[in-house]
Every structure is written in C-alpha cells, then in structure tokens.
C-alpha cells in the first residue's frame, strides 16, 4: 500500500507543469490599465516664479494651461514679462484707475488677442501666501475686466 502511494506521487510529479497564460495575461492587462489611469501623460509646463511661497492645499484638480499671472514679493508679471513693481503689499509706480491696474489690463488684452493654445477665459495666479486679499482682489478684478473671469490659484500640495 505504501509503495502504491509512492508510485502515484512520482507519476504526478513527473507530469510537466503547465502555466495558464490566459490568467497571467488578464492580470498583466489589469495592472497596465491601472498604471495608465494613474499616470498623467499631459505635459505640464509650469514654472514657479522666484520669491513665492504658495499656500498649502489638498486639492486634486489638475493643471490647466492658461495665462500665468505672477505676484512675487517685489513685482507683478504676466508669464515672465514685468508689469508693475510691488512694495509694502501695494502696487507702486504705475497707473491705477479705480480697481483696474492699467498695464496689467493692457498686457492681458494682448495675450487674449493672440493666445490660441491656452484656455481663453482662465488665468492661473501664482501669489505669495502672505499677500493681502486687497492686492490679490485688485489683480483678479483687473483680469476679469480684461476678459479672464475664471481664476485658478497655484497651490503647494500637502
């Protein structure tokens, strides 16, 4: 009896093991779909201006290519072009008409006229987290007057 059990085990052990390739291919395709869905293939051209400490946030919104308005501690810029000087949380040395910063308005109007690849109505603000709301509000109002009523604030992910 013991010999017959040993013979059965040896016969089973001598059979070549077959891998089920269908199951393995299913598993690999599921992993591939998971990885592709979690990786963004969109190029993100976002350069943070110097002297800016962005506010922290837990937002999961993706990056949108739009005109970038940068409020550093010393200057206001559109893309990387100087617009106005900032000192003591105020815009200085430029024409301001009510809530409208005239050089910013003119610059945004120029960008609006020839920007084809960017979102037409959106501005991405890079602003230091220590700025007063009054200054940020003035820049936002000017952007809205120039035809950019939608805003996105650049943030630092927590």
Sheet architecture: strand order including 81-87:
90-92, 81-87, 75-78, 67-71, 122-127, 150-153
Q: Are 90 and 13 contained in the same domain?
A: no
- Per-residue pLDDT band at 42 (split at 50, 70, 90): low
Q: Are 34 and 63 contained in the same domain?
A: no
Q: Which tops the pLDDT comparison, 9 or 20?
A: 20
Residue 67: CB atoms within 10 A of its CB come to 22
Token pair belonging to 76: 């206001």
CA distance 29 to 21: 12
Q: Are 77 and 145 contained in the same domain?
A: yes
Give the CA count within 13 Å in the CB-facing half-sphere of 158. 5
CA distance 34 to 95: 53
Q: Are 34 and 62 contained in the same domain?
A: no
Q: Are 77 and 124 contained in the same domain?
A: yes
14 occurs within a structural domain: yes
Beta strands in 88-131 (DSSP E): 90-92, 96-97, 100-101, 122-127
Q: Are 66 and 128 contained in the same domain?
A: yes
66 occurs within a structural domain: yes
Q: Are 87 and 16 contained in the same domain?
A: no
Could you tell me the residue range of the domain that residue 64 belongs to? 56-157
Of 10-24, 50-64, 105-119, 142-156, the least confident: 50-64
Q: Are 132 and 74 contained in the same domain?
A: yes
What pLDDT does residue 17 have?
67
Q: Are 86 and 117 contained in the same domain?
A: yes
Please count the structural domains in the chain.
2
What pLDDT does residue 13 have?
59
Residue 111: CB atoms within 10 A of its CB come to 20
Which residues pair with residue 70 across a beta bridge? 77, 126
137 occurs within a structural domain: yes
pTM above 0.85, yes or no: no
């Amino acid at each position: 009896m013991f010999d017959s059990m040993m013979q059965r085990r040896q016969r089973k052990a001598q059979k070549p093991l077959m891998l089920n390739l269908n199951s393995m291919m299913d598993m690999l395709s599921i992993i591939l779909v998971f990885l592709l869905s979690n990786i963004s293939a969109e190029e993100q051209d976002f350069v943070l201006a110097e002297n800016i400490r962005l506010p922290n946030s837990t937002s999961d919104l993706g990056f949108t290519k739009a005109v970038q308005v940068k409020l550093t501690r010393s200057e206001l810029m559109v893309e990387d072009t100087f617009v106005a000087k900032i000192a003591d949380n105020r815009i200085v040395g430029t024409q301001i008409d009510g809530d409208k910063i005239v050089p910013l308005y003119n610059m945004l109007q120029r960008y609006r006229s020839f920007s084809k690849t960017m979102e037409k109505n959106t501005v991405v603000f890079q602003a230091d987290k220590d700025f007063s709301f009054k200054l940020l509000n003035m820049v936002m109002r000017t952007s809205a007057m120039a035809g950019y009523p939608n805003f996105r604030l650049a943030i630092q992910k927590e």
